[in-house]
Amino acid sequence: MDPLLAARFPGVRSRNSPAQRKGTALHPVALNTCSPDETRRLGEALARCARPGGVLALYGELGAGKTVLAKGVAAGLDIDPRNVTSPTFVLMVRHAGRLTLFHFDAYRLADGNGLLDIGAEEMFFGKGLCVIEWADRVADVLPDDRIDVRMSVSGAKERALALTPTGPQSATWLRGAMDGLKNT
């Protein structure tokens, strides 16, 4: 593991080679977090480097930590994370911040039509930052260039994460966020 990352962010263990971390290709970045706080810090790092129109698609079982990550994103956008909870029944909550956060929860949807009905396309391609919990439910309407975040429970306090950029904007975004994480 990168000694700098190990020193500055002790709970995170990256499984990627240095060449992969430096590259511009769409390689996944694999991380482990050892506490909810570390997952929040990852969310913050992603938010700090986000550009308008950024989309984070979150995948993972119940309790994987999707909302914890979303709270970190909120904090990184100067939004009070206490106001961020899974919007399972309303599908989307908008939070005003440095960028507007559009927080979706697609748990109850069978496909993306329910999101199109509430105007999600405008949000995906707008000036805010979209975070979508249960993104697998709405795979048919996700934008092409986004960061896919796959999360799984690997211990009581441990979560395994794989972050995959799916286009050039998100590759640059992810690289910036990983550099930011090293410097926290």
Ligand X SMILES: Nc1ncnc2c1ncn2[C@@H]1O[C@H](COP(=O)(O)OP(=O)(O)OP(=O)(O)O)[C@@H](O)[C@H]1O
Q: Which 62-121 positions form the footprint of Mg ion (CB under 5 A)? A: 66-67, 86
Strand, coil or helix: what is 26?
coil
Among residues 5 and 38, whose Cβ is nearest to Mg ion?
38
161 Cβ neighbours under 8 A, 6+ residues apart:
30, 31, 32, 33, 39, 42, 149, 150, 151
Least Cα distance to 12 among 154, 134, 131, 132 occurs for 154
Q: How many residues line the site for Mg ion (CB under 5 A)?
A: 4
Task: Select from 89-97, 121-129, 142-150, 152-160 the region that touches ligand X (CB under 6 A).
Answer: 152-160
Task: Select from 60-68, 93-101, 124-132, 167-175 the region that touches ligand X (CB under 6 A).
Answer: 60-68
Q: Which of residues 43, 53, 54, 60 is near ligand X by CB under 6 A?
A: 60
Q: How many residues line the site for ligand X (CB under 6 A)?
A: 18
Least Cα distance to 73 among 52, 107, 103 occurs for 103
Least Cα distance to 106 among 120, 126, 127 occurs for 120
Contacting residues toward Mg ion, per CB under 5 A: 66-67, 86, 133
Contacting residues toward ligand X, per CB under 6 A: 33, 35-36, 38-39, 60, 62-68, 86, 133, 157-159
